[in-house]
Amino acid sequence: MSKQIVEQNYLGKINQILESNNLKLYELNWVFEYETDVLQILVVNKDESIKNVEFDALVKSNEAISAMLDEDTLLKNAYVLEVSSAGAERQVKDKETLLNNIGSYFYIKSNLGIENIYEFNATLKSYDKESDEFVFEFFIKGRPKKAKLKFDDISFIRFAIKF
């Protein structure tokens, strides 16, 4: 079995199962770990403002997806199914995720330097619809700074944990 077979034949059903458990697909991977093929389904909450994924929702999704895949004859080789959270420090892949997480803390790599700094941790404070810019607040050497960035100005962004 490969990622391509899963995407072509089962992705719709997988998404329906996740949706019924208030989850949505973050990423689907086919990996080889410990001499075993692993179908890895990484998920986030359907309501992205809720950061923690409930363990019960993962278990229910795993059991339902496993039962659905076991019924089919396309899957001939042995594999392990893993349905898990995408993680607390997952990458932000789209603008909508940022819009749903104003007030959250992020690690950012920007294409635009702020005082020659291109990588920083910051809190997303707001979004300006007119300019299509996100406003981030952070500190450089103890001094508060603001960065106004369009989504395209960000080369990489992920959630971060503030200590």
Domain boundaries, the chain: 3-85, 95-159
Query: Which amino acid belongs to residue 15?
Result: N
What's the pLDDT score for residue 45?
92
CATH annotation of 3-85: 3.30.300
Q: Which two tokens stand for residue 157?
A: 């962004």
What's the pLDDT score for residue 93?
92
What's the pLDDT score for residue 5?
80
What's the pLDDT score for residue 76?
75
**59/61 Cα distance (integer angstroms):** 5
Single pTM value for the model: 0.81
Judge whether 124 and 136 are in contact, CB under 8 Å: yes
Superfamily for 95-159? Ribosome maturation factor RimP, C-terminal domain (2.30.30.180)
**83/14 Cα distance (integer angstroms):** 11
Sign of CA dihedral 151, 30, 72, 8: positive
Within this chain, domains 3-85 and 95-159 share the same CATH topology: no
**Distant-in-sequence, close-in-space partners of 44: CB < 8 Å, separation ≥ 6:** 23, 24, 26, 53, 85, 86, 90
Listed residue (72, 68, 93, 97) closest to 83, CA to CA: 68
- Digit-by-digit pLDDT tens for the chain (163 residues) are 577 888 888 899 999 999 999 999 999 998 888 888 899 999 999 987 788 899 999 999 999 999 998 887 677 778 899 999 999 899 999 999 999 899 999 999 999 888 889 999 999 999 999 999 999 999 988 999 999 999 999 999 999 998 8
